[in-house]
Amino acid sequence: MGGNNSDTMSLNLKVWRQKNNKDKGSMIDYKLDGVSPDMSFLEMMDTLNNKLIKEQGDSIAFDHDCREGICGMCSMMINGQAHGPEAETTTCQLHMRKFKDGDTIVVEPWRAKAFPVLKDLMVDRGAFDNIMAAGGFVNVNTGNPQDANSILIGQENAELAMDAAACIGCGACVASCKNASAMLFVSAKISQLALLPQGEVESLARTQAMVAKMDELGFGNCTNEAECEAQCPKGIKIENIARMNREWFKGALTSRK
């Protein structure tokens, strides 16, 4: 058996297996040798899957796509942390050099009422699209708007808007929150648009609509634990939640509806 030389590692994996949404699911143990420290976490999972298939087993389903940390598709709870132990890093960018030979690694799906498990580590995050469709946009049609430079935006606000816009919609904030709150995700979009003159016009109505949809879809409330910020792979700040709350209060007080 390999794994004891300095180049590769042997790992004990405990992976959540669940056949479908109706299945109860359970943790299953796997042993994997020959893991290179240069592998990404997902490449380690690929290696395990190819081994399982050749041993007549069923491969582990997990979401992934770009594998460069930007699409937001990958989503694993690794040893109880969303996207694993490295700060501001998605699972696909987490490399095995962050683990040691002989480590036991627990891999679970995002767990939240609003994100039902589809299979194994794969969950349904369609609720995020529904929140976006409730108001996460500027009401402008394709056509001939004014010249881009006729809207001046100070660098500070432009940077703050970009900080918020960097959200990849992966759902780590929901998965790491004990209330399964989506407030970091929702507030990032609300902040981005509220900070820019193009989006500010509709900000109050947008905030009311998106927050109402978020509540309706079964996400919990914020109790200021800030775990979402700590585990966000893109460093989205909870100051966005404060901004969302301000926009929400302003809207609640001034709405004529």
* Site residues (CB under 8 A) for another protein, limited to 95-154: 95, 97, 118-120, 122, 124-126, 128-129, 132-149, 151-154
Q: Which of 33, 31, 37, 39 is nearest to 7 (CA)?
A: 37
CA atoms within 13 A on the CB side of 198: 20
| Residues 177-206 close enough to bind another protein by CB under 8 A | 192-193, 196, 198-199
Cα–Cα distance measured from residue 256 to residue 98, given in angstroms and rounded to the nearest whole number: 54
Closest contact distance (angstroms) between CB of 202 and another protein is 10
Asked if 74 contacts 42 with a C-beta cutoff of 8 angstroms, the reply is yes
Is 40 a binding residue for another protein by CB under 8 A? The answer is yes
Number of Cβ atoms within 10 Å of the Cβ of 19: 13
Is 253 a binding residue for another protein by CB under 8 A? The answer is no
Cα–Cα distance measured from residue 82 to residue 76, given in angstroms and rounded to the nearest whole number: 6
Pick 53 or 223: Cβ nearer another protein: 53
Is 166 a binding residue for another protein by CB under 8 A? The answer is yes
Closest contact distance (angstroms) between CB of 69 and another protein is 7
Residue 1's Cβ-count burial label (10 Å; 0-12, 13-18, 19+) is exposed
Is 176 a binding residue for another protein by CB under 8 A? The answer is no
Is 81 a binding residue for another protein by CB under 8 A? The answer is no
Q: What are phi and psi of 123, to 5 degrees?
A: -120, 165
| Residues 208-237 close enough to bind another protein by CB under 8 A | none
Pick 34 or 246: Cβ nearer another protein: 34
Pick 51 or 225: Cβ nearer another protein: 51
Determine the angle formed by the axes of helices 183-194 and 203-216, rounding to 10 degrees.
Answer: 170
Query: Which segment (68-76, 106-114, 222-230, 245-253) binds another protein by CB under 8 A?
Result: 68-76
Is 28 a binding residue for another protein by CB under 8 A? The answer is no
Is 84 a binding residue for another protein by CB under 8 A? The answer is no
